[in-house]
Amino acid sequence: MNYKRLDPNKQDILIIDDMADNLRVLSSLLTREGYNVRKALNWQMALSACQTVLPDLILLDIMMPEVDGYEVCQRFKAWDLTADIPIIFISALDDVFDKVKAFKIGGIDYITKPFEFEEVLVRVQNQLALRTARLEILTLNAELEQRVKQRTWELEKALQKLQGEITSRRQLQSQLLDIALHDSLTNLPNRVLFIRRLAKALHCAKQESTYQFAVLFLDCDRFKVINDSLGHLVGDELLVAIARRLQNCLTPVDTLARLGGDEFGILLENLPDINSAIKIAENILQQLSLTFKLSRYDVFMNASIGINWGNQDYEKPEYLLRDADTAMYRAKSLGRARYHVFDPAMYQEAIQLLELENDLRRAVDRQEFLVYYQPIISLATGRISGFEALVRWQHPIRGLISPIEFIPVAEETGLINPINIWVLQSACRQLSIWQHHPATSDNLTISVNLSARLFYQANLTAQIDQILHDTQVNPACLELEITESVIMENTHVVKTIFQELKARKIKLIMDDFGTGYSSLSYLHSFPLNALKIDKSFVKRMQDNQENMGLVPAMISIAESMGMAVIAEGVETKQQLKQLRSLKCDFAQGYLFSKPLEQKLVLDLIASVPQW
């Protein structure tokens, strides 16, 4: 409430009474007590007094002509500005004073006439004190309200700021999440995100039987060659180009992810059947087979794809990917640049392979290998000219395992290096023992098969030197059997190693001749001492009595290149006869002897057999 005061230090009292005497007496008493007192004889004067300044208290006589006290009181109570001003009624003794009415219309107290001044003063003081207190409360309330408003405003401000911060933090978080879930090179989803999408797809399949999906695992064929020969920058550029090409083969609902290195994962959704997944895989292979025109090179690339048709029986999304991966491996082993569809039997095989791999690792540590020896017969003399060392694995549970089963695994895992070097060592040690036997000549030879992997080993020649030195074997008695893949894969390095071996007079034999893909002119440029005709050709020789198949041609090729010929897999006398008639130099096979345990070899030697 806003009103002026006559004297701001004094409280203001308005006395309304039609009796001038009453007015005067009361006025002078109260003025003496320090109040500011104004007087009104009737309603009109009272009103204009209030319009000038609002009093703090009104003393109001009831009995007045024209407008009586009740009416005045009601008018003041009805007017906003004056409604709060405390009104004390003053009534003469002989007035018919209706206290109830006085209070009902808003009076706050009453004093009877003739009054005791002390009583008037106390009642006035009380009411003024009450009013002051009430006004203070109002002011305090108003202040409080203002403070609450201010605080609310501040809180709102703070809230707004906080919300702004939350928003920008969320943005940052989603940016970080984005980085964490994407591959930085191709910008594709990474393995983590891919597995999440697979989980979602698996969930959908479990909820809805009509939902069909497939997982593709794609691995680039021979990507390492590009990285190694053209450099990582070109490799990266190629990966980006591959990603783009793959994306073009897919629809927006599909997920393409880079799983790492040169591996990509694809989730195909909403498929009608497996054939549609196969069609997509075929299209991808077709698209990838087109030249990649990079900034500095034109590159050819192919890929192997494993397809796994999703189903709700999978427990975990990782398993879906694992089986697609297994199928991809099968595609690779079937010749690359193709797809293969997963079937559960493959999983069993993969498990077995994994077990074999683990067992093989242990076998290397525990030296579970044995060398068997198969004699090689000189057809000119009919006598044993040497032995081929053939490794076997003495598995603690499965017994003897054929090299056909474990050599490929050993090659894939790199375990072939220690195994093969061990075979070389054992074979050389045996040869030196046998060579001291009276029934053998000093030029008895030992043939050892060397895996192509060994040629990637930097110190192959040095290792062979060491073995020859330790066993005191004459290098001219050592024959190394290699396959065509050796000379096909790492030509330059292999040529150097061959020269080093040749300089030591170690003999080099091309094993399984005829089964590989090397051209004759290519063969010619390597310093080979002999060709070993693969047993499949020897076998067919008998079926094809007249021209003996390709064997005669092979023998004459060897002859023209100045190489000796060994026929392997000779099982019958007929074959032996044919080979002799063709002037084949050496033969090996069950006809003469199966590969033998080492302890049986001396007996064979001692029996001095002749064929």
Q: Which residues bind ligand C2E (CB under 6 A)?
A: 374, 390-391, 402-404, 407, 420, 423, 449-451, 481, 511-512, 535, 568-571, 589-590, 595
Using an 8 Å Cβ cutoff, are 126 and 96 in contact? no
Kindly state the tokens that stand for 75. Answer: 């008018």
The item of ligand C2E, Mg ion, none sharing an interface with residue 590, based on CB under 5 to 8 Å by kind, is ligand C2E
The smaller minimum CB distance to Mg ion, of residues 323 and 534, is found at 534
Give the angle 308-313-317 at the CA atoms, nearest 5°.
60
Q: What residues have CB less than 8 Å from 304, skipping those under 6 apart? A: 218, 219, 221, 328, 331, 332, 336, 337, 338, 339, 340
CB of 239 to ligand C2E, least distance (A): 34
Range 140-152 burial, b when 16+ CB lie within 10 A, else e: eeeeeeeeeeeee
Distance of closest approach, residue 295 Cβ to ligand C2E, in angstroms: 42
In the complex, least distance from residue 241 CB atom to ligand C2E, rounded to whole angstroms: 38
Residues 448-507 that bind Mg ion (CB under 5 A): 449, 481
- Which of these ranges, 252-260, 334-342, 391-399, 447-455, lies near Mg ion under the rule CB under 5 A? 447-455
Min dist CB 177 to Mg ion, Å, is 57
Q: How far is the CB of 482 from ligand C2E (least distance, A)?
A: 9
CB of 280 to ligand C2E, least distance (A): 39
Closest CA to 58 of 74, 78, 37: 37
* Residue 59: Cβ within 10 Å count: 28
**Which residue in the set 237, 359, 479, 511 belongs to the binding site for Mg ion (CB under 5 A)?**
511
Instruction: State the DSSP string of 537-578.
Output: HHHHHHHSTTT-TTHHHHHHHHHHTT-EEEE----SHHHHHH
Task: Enter the DSSP assignment of 477.
Answer: G
Burial of residue 528, with CB atoms counted within 10 A of its CB: 0-12 exposed, 13-18 middle, 19 or more buried: buried
Q: How far is the CB of 217 from Mg ion (least distance, A)?
A: 34
Strand ranges in 441-585 using DSSP code E only, listed in sequence order: 445-449, 478-482, 507-513, 530-533, 564-567
Closer by beta carbon to Mg ion, 46 or else 531: 531
CB nearer ligand C2E, residue 234 or residue 421: 421
Distance of alpha carbon 448 from alpha carbon 532, whole angstroms: 13
Q: Which is nearer to ligand C2E, 55 or 386 (CB)?
A: 386
CB of 407 to ligand C2E, least distance (A): 5
Q: Which does 111 bind (CB under 5 to 8 A by kind): Mg ion, ligand C2E, none?
A: none
The nearer residue to Mg ion, 12 or 479, going by C-beta atoms, is 479
Smallest separation (angstroms) from Mg ion to the CB of 374: 9
Residue 106 or 418 with smaller CB distance to ligand C2E: 418
Residue from 17, 254, 512, 585 in contact with Mg ion (CB under 5 A): 512
Residue 170 burial (CB count, 10 A): 10
Q: Is 237 in the site for Mg ion (CB under 5 A)?
A: no
Tokens read off for 185: 């090179």
CA distance 377 to 585: 9
Nearest distance from C-beta of residue 372 to ligand C2E, angstroms: 7
Residue 522 touches which of ligand C2E, Mg ion, none (Cβ within 5-8 Å per kind): none
571 binds, among ligand C2E, Mg ion, none (CB under 5 to 8 A by kind): ligand C2E
Give the nearer residue to ligand C2E in terms of CB position, either 79 or 590.
590
Contact yes or no for 481/448 (Cβ under 8 A): yes
CA separation for the pair 175, 424 (Å, rounded): 58
Which is closer to ligand C2E, CB of 57 or CB of 446? Answer: 446
Return the one option of Mg ion, ligand C2E, none that residue 420 interacts with (CB less than 5 to 8 A, by type). Answer: ligand C2E
Q: Give CA–CA dist 576/570, Å, rounded.
A: 7
DSSP state of 69: H
Closer CB to ligand C2E, residue 125 or residue 490? 490
Count interface residues toward Mg ion (CB under 5 A).
5
Closest to ligand C2E by CB, 360 or 570:
570
DSSP characters over 342-379: --HHHHHHHHHHHHHHHHHHHHHHHT-EEEEEEEEEET
Kindly give, in sequence order, each residue whose CB lies less than 8 Å from that of residue 211, ignoring residues fewer than 6 positions away.
Answer: 201, 204, 205, 269, 270
Q: For binding to Mg ion (CB under 5 A), which residues are involved?
A: 449, 481, 511-512, 568
